[in-house]
Amino acid sequence: MRDLNHSHKFADIHSRLSAGPRISYLRDWIYGGIDGAVTTFAIVAGVVGAELSAGVVVVLGIANLLADGFSMAASNYSGTKAEIDDYNRVLEVEKRHIRQHPEGEREEVRQIFSNKGYSGEELDEIVKLITTHEDMWLETMMAEEYGLSNVQRSPIRAALATFLAFLVCGAVPLLPYFLGLSSGAVVAATMTGIVFLLIGAVKSLWSTWSWWVSALETFVIGMSAAGLAYFVGAALRGLVGA
């Protein structure tokens, strides 16, 4: 978790700002962890509902861990890269606008900050300050006109975070079957429920929610998906049996 209670001494401020903003991959971990636990346990619940063998659980579970985990990581990579590509595309458009239509772009800056409550000489000074430096001008337009941040996330790191979280959390429902426990389904459900609670509790460190509220929300979401898979498996078993 990022410590926001940092020092405000001159040297510490200089060192912190010189390093640039820290990019968080929290959402990628949470996304991969929850989906890994949900989909793998959903397979377990579906197989149990259909009354298939433990070997089927292991085979389908491993296949899900590798295939679905890689698929999610690849999708996250492509999605994150698409965001970067879109940012660069819009940035080139704004560069061209500033160079070809500078007065129109200055008027956009003026109206942006006028809408924020600035006026008169103060507004004139802000517009002059921003439009004197092209990098600041571009950053302002990207953020204010398009809602795009110049802080870019790494597609590879985002994908890796998702994949690793998917593997770690998704492997939990399979452990009882690897260990050959007789009550594999019950143990898997218990362990998976604990994973959901832990993910939710840890997630609360980055939010204003109480840990138990966040844990309970994640638990309900995850177990609801698993319960749905169980009933689907049971229904399909009935159709096959019929």
Structure confidence at residue 179 as a pLDDT band (50, 70, 90):
confident
Given a contact cutoff of 8 angstroms between Cβ atoms, the answer to whether 230 and 48 are in contact is yes
Average pLDDT for 125-134: 96
pLDDT of 13 strictly over 80: no
pLDDT at 4: 62
Of the listed ranges 11-15, 51-55, 130-134, 161-165, the least confidently predicted one is: 11-15
d(CA 161, CA 49): 32
Average pLDDT for 126-140: 96
Given a contact cutoff of 8 angstroms between Cβ atoms, the answer to whether 171 and 65 are in contact is yes
Helices (H), 101-183: 102-114, 120-132, 134-146, 155-171, 175-178
Q: What is the pLDDT of residues 54-101, one digit of tens each?
A: 888 889 889 989 999 999 999 999 999 999 999 999 999 999 999 999
Average pLDDT for 133-152: 93
d(CA 19, CA 93): 29
pLDDT at 46: 76
pLDDT of 144 strictly over 80: yes
Given a contact cutoff of 8 angstroms between Cβ atoms, the answer to whether 40 and 64 are in contact is yes
Q: What is the pLDDT of residues 184-235, one digit of tens each?
A: 788 888 998 999 999 889 888 877 888 899 899 989 987 887 777 777 766 7
Mean pLDDT of the chain: 87
Cα-trace Rg, the chain: 25
Q: Which secondary-structure segment (H or E) carries 31?
A: helix 26-49
Question: What's the longest Cα–Cα distance across the chain?
Answer: 82
pLDDT at 105: 96
> What's phi and psi for 105, nearest 5 deg?
-70, -35
